[in-house]
Chain A
Amino acid sequence: MKKLLLAASITAMMAIPAQAADYVIDTQGAHAFVQFKISHLGYSWLHGRFNTFAGDFSYDADKLTDAKIKLTIDTTSIDSNHAERDKHLRSADFLNVSKHPKANFVSTKIVPKTGNEFDLYGILTLNGVTKEVVIAAEKLGEGNDPWGGYRAGFAGTTTLTLKDFAINTDLGPASTTVQLDLVVEGIRK
């Protein structure tokens, strides 16, 4: 009886899915990037980034659909390498950072595609507007790092329509959307 109970409990324990590993996004070592690009007049790209953000994710290669991520971006840290433009981007004409100093992304579901690619659905709050977005994401790799840790890296891209997030400043017909590019490297906790 005791043996049976033991066997049952061992079976039960094995039946519990392997706990997805938790990762913290490596902002400390700056191995993660929140970048954007927007067309300038339809002739070129303007690149910028958010310097300050934080987040974590849980991920298990065998259980991709269980993966979760949340990310908080400090919108005051916007940096397009031009002080006057950054001041303008922080103003009410764009991100209104004094009113909305944070942007958040919380994943809701994952739809695997081919290979390492998947669609990451989530709720993005930006400029005070909350909206579902889909990030076309890809696992780049995972494994031991040279310093005793374990890392996993992902990249993702989504295109936001400025008006959807109450950014109504007219930058011209070629510049109504902005592409957000995320590179996220996590260190397993």
Chain B
Amino acid sequence: MLKNNSSQYGLVSVLMHWLMALAIFALFAVGFWMVDLNYYSEWYRTAPYWHKSVGILLAAALLLRLIWRRISPPPLPLATHHSWEKKLARVVQFCLYLGLIILFISGYLISTEDGRAISVFDWFDVPSAGALFANQADIAGVIHQYTAYSLITLAVLHGLAALKHHVIDKDHTLKRMFGHKP
């Protein structure tokens, strides 16, 4: 039930997948919106604070997810999938993980160049590692921005591919992600 088996996603993987998807799209939207906030906006301080807090928690969630992948590997691809589909899906999934990792590192480097820690909802602080290279905040900022655009593009394609399986191929790819048995 909690664990995955060879044909079905368990509850842990299903929840992690959809909660993280929600967090990723929310972080992107907030990030896109908050950088242009007016100084007198009531969100000027809270939006970045939430963005950073949720981002750190998402990083922790990804770590757990990757560990969980080891403990309980995902089910095998559907037999009806073409081999190029399987390969492409694997590449995209790998890039999604990689993109998230780059976003976590670059986001962390923007906020911590001056030695300030990142407060996660005033619950705990992630300490700064200081300035690790010149122009750290600027370089990390550019990387963060373009990685975010790439990741969200890839995530949309990943979603459209799932819809394609659901609507055109009429297979169980998408349903399975909700824990359905094929």
Contact = CB atoms under 8 A, between A and B. Distances in A.
A86 interface: yes
A90 interface: yes
A86 B137 contact: yes
B111 interface: yes
Nearest to A86: B137
Interface residues of A, number: 12
B47 interface: no
Contact of B110 (A81, A83, A90, A172): A83
Contacts of A83: 110-114, 116, 131, 136-137
A87 B39 contact: no
Interface in A142-180: 169-172
Contacts of B137: 83-84, 86-87
A90 B138 contact: yes
B80 interface: no
Interface of B: 38-40, 48, 110-114, 116, 131, 135-138, 141
A82 interface: yes
Interface of A: 76, 81-84, 86-87, 90, 169-172
Given A86-B137, A87-B137, A81 B114 contact: yes
Contact of B39 (A76, A81, A169): A169
Nearest to B142: A98
Question: Most chain-B Cβ atoms within 10 A of its Cβ — which of A83, A84, A87?
Answer: A83
Contacts of A82: 114, 116
A41 B141 CA distance: 27
Nearest to B137: A87
